Amino acid sequence: MLMDKLREGAQGRIAKIIFWLIIFSFSLAGVGSYLNRPANTDPAEVNGEPITAQALENAYRNERSRLEAQLGENFAQLADNPAYLQRMRQGVLERMIDDVLVNQAIKDAKLRVGDEQVKKAILAMPYFQKDGKFDNDLYLAVLRQNNLTPEGFRDTVRQDLATQDYLGAVSQSEFALPAEARLLDRLLNQTRDVRLYTLPLAAFSGAVQVTDEERKAFYDAHHDQFMSQEQVAINYLLLDVDKIAAGISPSDADVQAYYDQHQDSYRTAERRKVAHILFAKQDADAQKKVDAELVKLKAGADFAALAKSDSADTLSARNGGELDWFEPGVMDPAFDKAAFALAKVGDLSQPVQSQFGYHIIKLLGVEPAKVKTLDEVKEQVRQQVKEDKAKEQFLDLQQQMADLSFENPDSLDEVATKLGLQVQQLALQPVSSNEFPLSNDKVKTQAFSVELRDQNTNSEVIALSDKQAAVIHVVDYKPAAVRPLDEVKAALDTAIKHDKALAAVQAEAAALLEKLKSGESVDAAVAAKQGKVETLAGVRRDDQKLDQQLASALFKLAKPVDGKPVYSQVGLFDGDQVLMALTAVHEADKDSANLSRLQASLQRNYGDAAYRAMLAQLRAKAKISYHQLDKVAE
């Protein structure tokens, strides 16, 4: 009876509606899963060829490493700016796109480098050479260290050679005519005669007065020049390895255990004292001479006497060829190996070839390696134990500080209590402050971040160095604001006086320029304003006797015609005004010694321009698709 009722219900109208709703929901789920497939994660496609996210990441990290090595500590400040890193990442991507375009062009041109050319290139690479010759074991070892296979490296070299050939064909197709280089050479070596009239800004500043109306108008128009800096006050906790170490007293057992485990650290290397005779050349004649010298020595000749008379190392020769005591790894590798291979005092080496020539080496003395006793290094060991224990505690406390500051985000008091630290305070400081810990760029970035002050939360643990870490909490903040007029009155007067004096000196210079053009003398007028008049002959473009701003303006003037000077007014960066009268232009009457280098430089510039034009053409014809870049990796 019950089963009949269920079967009857299943055939009813409501059951059918539910059934179709279920089917419809499955269909929507299917469509949704299709629509929500992962988006394309490749940063870009070039003519259908993807540049993968991993390839971009590798190239980006290589670029970061290069800049870190080049800029040192300055890079850390740049790297704190996400916008800079994003621009750098975009630049890396653009270069990768250029590389793909060039590789595609090479493929289209059916340009291929033969196996023999690839082989010669690899054999010539200095990374794989030992004693001036290709070493296959070294080659394989270097590839293994860089996670490369011989086949993969071969293909990379082949592609690089093809790229060089292709780009060489583009850039080297350009040339510079001798006449072009000669014209440029003559222009660069041209000299000019000029008369200069200088009106100093300072002569117009004394009589300038500032009214209240001018002061108020300037203040209202230039609020941005009179802003106070944003300021922040913070509380902070500081972990310091040195302070932790000061509270640690290692036991004698700790010191003994450390010494036993690190005896190699207190071992002095073997030292040797030798004398040598050097034949500086490395040709067959030098080899014959060194062989003959060795025969004399084995026959009983005096080593010191021969060193004085025959050795090319004149400094050691004066002392019979003797050198100072040295440890392994100090001398040239070949010399070092031979010297430490000698068994007993008085032994002679066979002729040894180094980068300096051929040597015969005589062993004069040996100081064997030895380990310093604990008594000799006890204080040194004790200090090292303190530092090691302090670093262990530092790392542990750093983790605890991170956890506690996260669990108690609205204050540092609870964190300080549990870690036995003292909350330190820094009163309101401007963004330009170098007070500790704001002297650390990472701390400054966090202290002035919107997140910390808006959410009233502790910062993450900030590594100040390998020995210091801090957590900060913003307790007060003052945004940048326009300073009151009365507070900036002195600065206002200085700015207004400068502008009024500048306008006055410019007007006076313009008036005197018109007098010069009409043939009048202005020497007395310039002298009345404490200015100076000077005549310079044979001025060159790079002449140190003339301000470069003036030199640049001078060589932009047209040549005088019919002996009439050409005039110009130049405002210097400090506000002084200079009237310039170009009286003569002298062309070089012969080519300079730099003509050939100049022609080569022109050709390189034309080649670079051709390369840039080729890339622009490839980009114009290509279909380049950009996808959203992943967040810049820190």
pLDDT at 39: 53
The residue written with tokens 């490395």 in the block is: 282
pLDDT at 617: 93
Q: What b-and-e string marks burial along 186-213, b requiring 16 or more CB atoms within 10 Å of the CB?
A: beebbebbbbbbbbbbebbbeeeebeee
- How many angstroms separate the most distant Cα atoms in the chain? 130
* Tens-place pLDDT, residues 103-123: 898 888 888 888 889 888 888
Q: Whose CA is closest to 273, among 216, 322, 331?
A: 322
Q: Name the DSSP class of 381.
A: H
pLDDT(8) > 80: no
Mean pLDDT of the 268-289 span: 89
**DSSP H helical segments within 200-320, as ranges?**
212-221, 241-246, 252-261, 284-298, 303-310, 314-317
Mean pLDDT of the 445-455 span: 91
Name the residue ranges covered by the structural domains of the chain.
Answer: 2-35, 39-171+599-634, 190-217+490-586, 231-249+377-478, 270-368
SS3 570: strand
Spatial separation of the C-alpha atoms in residues 512 and 195, rounded to whole Å: 14
Question: Which residue type occupies 264?
Answer: D
Q: What percent of the chain has pLDDT over 70?
A: 93
Spatial separation of the C-alpha atoms in residues 357 and 8, rounded to whole Å: 108
Q: What angle do CA 269, 275, 277 make, to 5 degrees?
A: 135
CB-based contacts of 450, cutoff 8 Å, min separation 6: none
Spatial separation of the C-alpha atoms in residues 583 and 538, rounded to whole Å: 11
- Residue 43, preceding peptide bond in cis (omega within 30° of 0): no
Assign 30 a pLDDT band (cuts: 50, 70, 90): very low
Contact indicator for 181, 603 with CB cutoff of 8 Å: no
Q: How many CB atoms lie within 10 A of CB 270?
A: 13
For the domain with range 270-368, which CATH number is right: 3.40.50.720, 3.20.20.100, 3.10.50.40, 1.10.1200.10? 3.10.50.40
- 39-171+599-634 and 270-368 share one fold: no
Beta sheet of 577-586, edge-to-edge order:
532-539, 191-199, 577-586, 566-571
Domain spanning 39-171+599-634: CATH 1.10.4030.10 = yes
Q: What percent of the chain has pLDDT over 90?
A: 52
Q: How many CB atoms lie within 10 A of CB 239?
A: 23
* Tens-place pLDDT, residues 124-151: 888 888 878 888 888 888 888 777 888 8
**Structure tokens belonging to residue 265:** 């650290």
What values do phi and psi take at 409, rounded to 5? -75, -20
**Structure tokens belonging to residue 81:** 């700016």
* Tens-place pLDDT, residues 352-387: 999 889 999 999 999 998 888 888 888 888 888 888
Average pLDDT value for the chain: 87
pLDDT at 411: 93
Contact indicator for 67, 61 with CB cutoff of 8 Å: no
> Mutual orientation of helices 82-108 and 53-71 as an angle, nearest 10°?
120
pLDDT at 23: 41
pLDDT(601) > 50: yes
Spatial separation of the C-alpha atoms in residues 214 and 101, rounded to whole Å: 60
Spatial separation of the C-alpha atoms in residues 498 and 506, rounded to whole Å: 12
CB-based contacts of 608, cutoff 8 Å, min separation 6: 171
Strand partners, 195: 535, 581
**What is the pTM for the complete model shown?**
0.51
Spatial separation of the C-alpha atoms in residues 448 and 3, rounded to whole Å: 73
* Tens-place pLDDT, residues 170-184: 877 788 888 888 888
